[in-house]
């Protein structure tokens, strides 16, 4: 009987302590401008900044010059049609290549389209003719805009002129000659192949993890600076004498704050900028739960190694660039070397980004992201244990120091 009451007392006291620590930690967060910056200002402002930067999605009116050695009706018609495409603007027709190259040197244009002198003659004689396209490689998107527009125009012009030159009995047989096997290409889920729709969802997930690491790391570093003997736990406070209650109490306070942050970052920002978001909100919420848990416990584990409040920024900020690439959103995961791919499994952002963009942008359900979902729960469990070990070690250390 005595044992049973004892246990009940412990549980009751434990729960009370969890809420005590929860409240203390919330106070700590709001007292510290540094933490407030990372928990609120950055998640608020960063998505807006990135959305603004990439808002145009694709390049319009990339500047091009033309060198027209043919100077014929057909070459002028070609130029006119390229200019009419939304992606390319022909800024000048140059006399020769030297002049065109100078335009590129002066950044007045980023691409050159050059017609050979026999361009029109060849087409009229039914011979294949070759035009040259030169693109400045400061951005692949210029190259893409020039190439796609020129290809499109060459196709439409060919169709019209070849059929004019070889009048056939019926329209149907005409088309067969030029285009025996038509094809269609569809970009699914991000139909205009926009840059913001591709990159921003991944950045949003990364912002959540990185701000948690920086904020919680800062709280940890501050505690280490302030507490007696530089330990993570204020041992003078009687409520802080149990590993589980500290880890649960603190993580609960971060979770509550980040539910609010997530509503802004994941639900409101994509709507403001009308990014593709075809994922089921319930699925997204279910998926974010283990992601948040894993990120919080991961951050709490790392905070154990922070000896001063500034160190997280010096140590973790640069990793954001690496984590974005290791997540496999821009560089396909199949092409990531084995070593880095395995290392990537240590970070919640890797399955977090993969799963989120597929739910959010490609409309996957939990079934299709089960691999990532399971990984996140495993990470959450693993980092929960490691966070407990870190705090256990810190409690023992501070108790020992106290004696």
Partner 1 sequence: MSYGQQKYGVGAIAVREIKRLLSHRLYLFCLLLAPSISVVFFISLMRDGLPTNLPVALVDLDNTATSRTLVRQLDAFTQTQITQKMNSFTEARIAMQKGEVYGIYYIPEGFGTDAVSGKQPKLSFYTNGTYLIAASLLFRDMKTISVLAGASVGLQTGIAQGKSTDQIMGQLQPIVIDTHALGNPWLNYSVYLNNTILPGILQLLIFLVTVYCIGVEIKLGTAEEWLKMGHGCLFKSLLGKLLPYTVIFTIIGFMICAVLYGFNSFPLQSGWFPMLTAIFFLVIASQAVGIFMIGTLPTLRLGLSFASLFGMISFSIVGFSFPVLGMHSTLQALAELFPLRHYFLIYIDQALNGRDLYYSIGEYLWLLSFLILPFLIGKNLKKALLYMKYIP
What's phi and psi for 111, nearest 5 deg? -155, 155
Q: Is 91 in the site for partner 1 (CB under 8 A)?
A: no
Q: Can residue 81 be called a binding residue for partner 1 (CB under 8 A)?
A: no
Please report whether residue 337 would count as binding partner 1 according to CB under 8 A: yes
Phi and psi based region of residue 16 (left: phi greater than 0; alpha: psi -120 to 50; beta: remaining) = alpha
Distance CA 348, CA 379 (A): 7
One character per residue 239-258, x = contact with partner 1 (rule: CB under 8 A)? --------------------
42 touches partner 1 (CB under 8 A): yes
Q: How many CA atoms lie within 13 A of 61 on its CB side?
A: 3
Among positions 360-389, residues that touch partner 1 (CB under 8 A) are: 361-365, 368-369, 371
- Asked if residue 113 lies in contact with residue 68, where contact means CB atoms within 8 angstroms, the answer is no
Give the C-alpha separation, 206 to 111, whole Å: 35
Which of 30, 44, 325, 345 touches partner 1 (CB under 8 A)? 325
| Phi then psi dihedrals of residue 356, to 5 deg | -65, -45
Size of site (CB under 8 A) for partner 1: 117
Among 27, 60, 95, 108, binds partner 1 (CB under 8 A): 60
Residue 158 or 402 with smaller CB distance to partner 1:
158
Applying CB under 8 A, which of residues 70, 85, 135, 253 lies at the interface with partner 1?
A: 135
- Of residues 165-184, those binding partner 1 (CB under 8 A): 166, 173, 175-184
User: Given its phi and psi angles, is residue 183 left (phi above 0), alpha (psi -120 to 50 degrees) or beta?
Assistant: beta
Q: Are 252 and 20 in contact (CB under 8 A)?
A: no
Positions 94 through 113 that interact with partner 1 (CB under 8 A): 104-106
Q: What angle do CA 76, 81, 86 make, to 5 degrees?
A: 145
Q: Work out the burial of residue 203: count CB atoms within 10 Å of its CB; fewer than 13 is exposed, 13-18 middle, 19 or more buried.
A: buried
Q: Which stretch binds partner 1 (CB under 8 A): 22-30, 234-242, 332-340, 377-385?
A: 332-340
Q: Which position among 117, 330, 401, 402 is part of the footprint of partner 1 (CB under 8 A)?
A: 330
* 383 class by beta-carbon count within 10 Å (0-12 exposed, 13-18 middle, 19+ buried): buried
Please identify which residue in 161, 264, 382, 393 interacts with partner 1, judged by CB under 8 A. Answer: 161
Q: Minimum Å distance from CB 222 to partner 1? A: 6
Interaction mask 9-38, partner 1, x per CB under 8 A: ------------------------xx--xx
Q: Which residues pair with 93 in a beta bridge?
A: 66
Binding range to partner 1, per CB under 8 A, among 12-20, 55-63, 253-261, 384-392: 55-63
Residues 1, 2, 238, 335: which binds partner 1 (CB under 8 A)?
A: 335
Residues 207-236 that bind partner 1 (CB under 8 A): 214, 218, 222, 225-226
Residue from 11, 48, 53, 267 in contact with partner 1 (CB under 8 A): 53
Residues 193, 197, 199, CA angle at the centre, nearest 5°? 105
55 binds partner 1 (CB under 8 A): yes
Query: Would you state the structure tokens that stand for residue 113, as one six-digit string?
Result: 């389209």
Minimum CB–partner distance for residue 228 and partner 1 (Å): 15
């Amino acid at each position: 009987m005595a044992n049973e009451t004892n246990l009940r007392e412990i549980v009751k006291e434990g729960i009370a302590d969890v809420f005590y620590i929860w409240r203390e930690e919330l106070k700590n967060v709001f007292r510290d401008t540094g933490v407030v910056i990372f928990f609120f200002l950055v998640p608020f402002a960063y998505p807006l900044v990135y959305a603004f930067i990439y808002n145009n999605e694709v390049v319009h009116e990339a500047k091009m010059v033309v060198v027209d050695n043919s100077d014929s009706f057909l070459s002028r018609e070609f130029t006119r049609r390229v200019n009419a495409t939304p992606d390319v603007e022909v800024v000048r027709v140059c006399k020769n290549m030297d002049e065109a190259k100078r335009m590129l040197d002066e950044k007045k244009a980023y691409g050159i389209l050059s017609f050979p002198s026999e361009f029109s003659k060849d087409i009229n004689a039914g011979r294949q003719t070759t035009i040259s396209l030169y693109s400045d490689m400061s951005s692949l998107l210029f190259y893409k805009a020039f190439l796609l527009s020129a290809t499109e125009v060459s196709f439409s012009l060919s169709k019209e002129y070849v059929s004019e030159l070889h009048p056939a009995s019926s329209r149907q047989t005409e088309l067969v000659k030029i285009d025996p096997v038509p094809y269609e290409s569809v970009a699914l889920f991000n139909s205009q192949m926009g840059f913001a729709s591709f990159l921003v969802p991944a950045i949003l997930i990364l912002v959540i993890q990185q701000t948690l690491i920086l904020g919680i790391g800062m709280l940890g570093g501050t505690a280490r600076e302030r507490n007696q003997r530089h330990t993570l736990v204020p041992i003078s406070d009687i409520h802080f004498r149990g590993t589980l209650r500290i880890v649960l109490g603190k993580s609960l306070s971060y979770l509550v704050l980040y539910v609010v942050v997530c509503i802004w970052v994941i639900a409101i920002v994509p709507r403001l900028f009308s990014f593709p978001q075809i994922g089921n909100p319930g699925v997204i919420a279910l998926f974010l739960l283990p992601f948040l848990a894993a990120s919080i416990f991961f951050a709490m584990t790392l905070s154990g190694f922070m000896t001063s409040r500034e160190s997280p920024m010096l140590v973790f900020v640069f990793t954001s660039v690496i984590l974005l690439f290791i997540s496999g959103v821009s560089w396909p995961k199949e092409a990531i070397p084995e070593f880095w791919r395995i290392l990537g499994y240590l970070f919640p952002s890797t399955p977090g980004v993969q799963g989120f963009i597929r739910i959010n942008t490609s409309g996957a359900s939990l079934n299709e992201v089960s691999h990532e979902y399971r990984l996140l729960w495993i990470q959450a469990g693993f980092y929960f244990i490691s966070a407990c070990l870190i705090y256990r070690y810190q409690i023992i250390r501070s108790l020992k120091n106290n004696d």
